[in-house]
């Protein structure tokens, strides 16, 4: 039997993003990591309802030489120690040629294979247009946390919220996750 999951972007969703010039960036070290308010409680509530919790994150600063993969590993180890996460999948590439860099759905598809996830009854929560497009391409319902960044907004999402706590409440209130998805044929980005 396939399982339901909540896919989570990392920076700006479960931990505070470093915002410079209206654009979010990841913390530069595990010491800078700050889990956002309400996140532990929201994830625990989702976990109690049987959702797998999978982080899917673009981390191109590794390819750019800004941070090392070891730094990202330490941040992820800290997140795993503090939150009930089932997995963390990362794309370290700096271009869109790979299939794992959001907005492509590669990370979600990989997680579906590895964890036995039913994508159509799962959710993607993110704070950038790339997250919404990746979730939609994978067949998940999408919830956009709108931090009002000075960058491209998603072309479409199922729900626009202010926090993971709000997104979690919407997910938990759904009897049939498919009810959140847009009608077939709705175009999500290019």
Could you give the domains of the chain? 5-180 (3.40.50.1000)
**Token pair for 32:** 């800078």
Whole-number mean pLDDT of the chain?
91
pLDDT score, position 175: 56
pLDDT score, position 176: 45
pLDDT tens digits, 46-71: 999 999 999 999 998 888 888 889 99
Average pLDDT over residues 149-164: 97
pLDDT at 168 over 80: yes
pLDDT tens digits, 96-154: 789 999 999 999 999 999 999 999 999 999 999 999 999 999 999 999 999 999 999 99
Percent of the chain surpassing pLDDT 90: 83
**pTM score of the predicted model:** 0.90
Which of 63-67, 144-148, 168-172, 179-183 comes out lowest in average pLDDT? 179-183
């Amino acid at each position: 039997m396939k399982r339901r999951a909540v896919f989570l972007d990392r920076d700006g969703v479960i931990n505070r993003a470093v915002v410079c010039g209206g654009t979010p960036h990841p913390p530069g070290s595990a010491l800078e990591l700050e889990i956002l308010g309400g996140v532990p409680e929201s994830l625990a509530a989702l976990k109690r309802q049987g959702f797998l919790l999978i982080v899917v994150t673009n981390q191109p600063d590794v390819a750019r030489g800004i941070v090392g993969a070891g730094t990202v590993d330490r941040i992820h180890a800290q997140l795993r120690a503090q939150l009930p996460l089932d997995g963390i999948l990362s794309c370290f590439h700096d271009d869109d040629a790979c299939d794992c860099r959001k907005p492509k759905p590669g990370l979600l598809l990989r997680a579906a294979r590895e964890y036995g996830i039913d994508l159509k009854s799962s959710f993607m929560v993110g704070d950038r247009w790339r997250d919404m497009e990746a979730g939609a391409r994978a067949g998940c319902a999408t919830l956009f946390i709108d931090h009002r960044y000075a960058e491209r907004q998603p072309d479409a999402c199922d729900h626009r919220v202010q926090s993971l706590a709000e997104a979690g409440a919407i997910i938990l209130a759904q009897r049939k996750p498919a009810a959140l998805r847009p009608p077939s044929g709705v175009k999500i980005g290019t």
